């Protein structure tokens, strides 16, 4: 199984062991480096609010005029709904396959896709655990694939993991609801100390955290568990730092009936906990199933260049 964009490989036993132990695996090549330029070329327009499909992304806290390279950390959730090229990555069977195979799942459903862009001088992004925002998923089993679209370095504010932190005590439903109510995204994109929460969690767990930066060439990245603490420091280099990620869940995941789904509740049908595949598509399955129509959707626009 390979596409024009995602590199074909199998996980080794050593990588599986690392994933269980550390909560993440760093990979030198996930996306063909020849495709990274096509993806990041979309960012200027997207962050200026130009949406090719006519549909807004789900979360779009930062808007910056096209050509403005000011040192602001830019972030967006579900740009795949807005841009066919970004959809070419998010809906790629290869990403779903890598996530499913590493986790031992029968397939992967796309929960959400993110893009991040940090120009030189842009601030940090607070360390967090993805699953703590998605306890409305039943089961709340998340695994994400993050890909660098430029060569990354610790100095350049690459993704940082706290090794083994998926085994620390987990955020409770009460903490989660308090965060949503307190709109804890305040300070998320420009925190005074991006490690505040992870240090609190480490102290609670009684461990001295070990931080691991994802230093990879463009097209490399990592697959990581939803409970692992991660985030990124300010970009202190003179290079722009672009990344793209997909957060996957098991194909059989449903809405938890008693947990508010925040922004994603808009995709929940009345009296029904099923996840609609138009919004949470199944991108890869062991038995060959993929949500129908995705390849046509990608081919509809400029993403056709990536469709293989």
Ligand X SMILES: O=C(O)CCC(=O)C(=O)O
3-class secondary-structure state, position 31: strand
Shortest spacing between CB 292 and ligand X, in angstroms: 27
116 binds ligand X (CB under 6 A): yes
125 counts as binding ligand X under rule CB under 6 A: yes
- Give yes or no for residue 159 binding ligand X (CB under 6 A): yes
d(CA 137, CA 172): 14
Contacts of 150 (CB under 8 A, 6+ apart): 36, 40, 156, 218, 239, 240, 241, 242
- Whose Cβ is closer to ligand X: residue 60's or residue 146's? 146
**Number of CB atoms found within 10 A of residue 302's CB:** 18
- Residue 152 binds ligand X, judged by CB under 6 A: no
Provide, rounded to whole angstroms, the least separation between the CB of residue 296 and ligand X. 27
- Would you state the structure tokens that stand for residue 13, as one six-digit string? 């036993």
Q: How far is the CB of 125 from ligand X (least distance, A)?
A: 5
- Binding to ligand X by residue 285, rule CB under 6 A? no
Q: Is 114 in the site for ligand X (CB under 6 A)?
A: yes
Choose, by CB under 6 A, the member of 22, 130, 150, 151 that binds ligand X: 130
Helix, strand, coil shares, percent, the chain, to 5? 30, 20, 50
Task: Extract the tokens encoding 147.
Answer: 């890909």
Closest CB to ligand X among residues 5, 234: 234
| 42 part of the interface to ligand X, by CB under 6 A | no
Provide, rounded to whole angstroms, the least separation between the CB of residue 113 and ligand X. Answer: 9
**Residue reference for tokens 């809405």:** 255
- Kindly tell me which residue out of 98, 166, 230, 250 binds ligand X, with binding defined by CB under 6 A: 230
- CB closer to ligand X out of 225 and 232: 232
97 binds ligand X (CB under 6 A): no
Annotate 197-260 with DSSP letters as a single string.
Answer: HHHHHHHHHT----EEE----TT-EEEEETTS-EEE----SSS-EEEEEEEEE-TT-EE-TTS-
Name which of 46 and 159 has its Cβ closer to ligand X: 159
Q: How many residues bind ligand X (CB under 6 A)?
A: 11
**CB-based burial label for 271 (10 Å; 0-12, 13-18, 19+):** exposed
Q: Is 150 in the site for ligand X (CB under 6 A)?
A: no
Phi, psi at 265, each rounded to 5° = -60, -20
Q: Given the complex with ligand X, which of 145 and 282 has the nearer CB atom? A: 145
Q: Which is nearer to ligand X, 232 or 237 (CB)?
A: 232
Burial of residue 255, with CB atoms counted within 10 A of its CB: 0-12 exposed, 13-18 middle, 19 or more buried: buried
Interface residue with ligand X among 60, 80, 89, 146 (CB under 6 A) is: 146
Shorter beta-carbon distance to ligand X: residue 224 or 307: 224
Binding residues for ligand X, per CB under 6 A? 114, 116, 125, 130, 144, 146, 159, 230, 232, 243, 245
């Amino acid at each position: 199984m390979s596409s024009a964009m995602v590199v074909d490989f199998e996980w080794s036993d050593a990588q599986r062991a690392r994933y269980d132990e550390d909560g993440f695996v760093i990979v030198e090549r996930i996306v063909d480096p020849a495709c990274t330029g096509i993806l990041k070329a979309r960012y200027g327009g997207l962050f200026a609010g130009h949406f090719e499909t006519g549909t807004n992304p789900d979360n779009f806290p930062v808007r910056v005029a096209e050509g403005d390279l000011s040192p602001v950390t830019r972030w967006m959730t579900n740009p795949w709904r807005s841009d066919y090229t970004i959809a070419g990555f998010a809906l790629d069977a290869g990403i779903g396959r890598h996530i499913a195979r590493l986790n031992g799942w029968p397939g992967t459903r796309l929960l959400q896709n993110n893009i991040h862009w940090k120009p030189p001088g842009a601030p940090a992004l607070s360390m967090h655990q993805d699953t703590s925002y998605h306890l409305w998923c039943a089961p709340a089993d998340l695994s994400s694939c993050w890909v660098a679209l430029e060569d990354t370095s610790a100095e350049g504010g690459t993704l940082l993991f706290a090794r083994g932190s998926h085994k620390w005590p987990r955020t409770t439903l009460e903490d989660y609801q308090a965060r949503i109510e307190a709109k804890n995204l305040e300070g998320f994109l420009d925190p005074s100390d991006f490690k505040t929460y992870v240090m609190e969690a480490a102290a609670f767990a009684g461990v001295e955290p070990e931080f691991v930066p994802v230093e990879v060439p463009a097209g490399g990245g990592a697959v990581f568990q939803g409970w692992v603490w991660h985030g990124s420091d300010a970009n202190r280099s003179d290079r722009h730092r672009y990344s793209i990620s997909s957060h996957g869940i098991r194909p059989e995941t449903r809405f938890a009936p008693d947990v508010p789904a925040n922004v994603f509740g808009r995709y929940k049908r009345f009296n029904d906990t099923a996840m609609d595949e138009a919004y949470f598509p199944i991108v890869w399955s062991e038995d060959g199933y993929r949500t129908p129509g995705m390849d046509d959707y990608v081919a509809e626009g400029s993403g056709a260049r990536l469709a293989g």
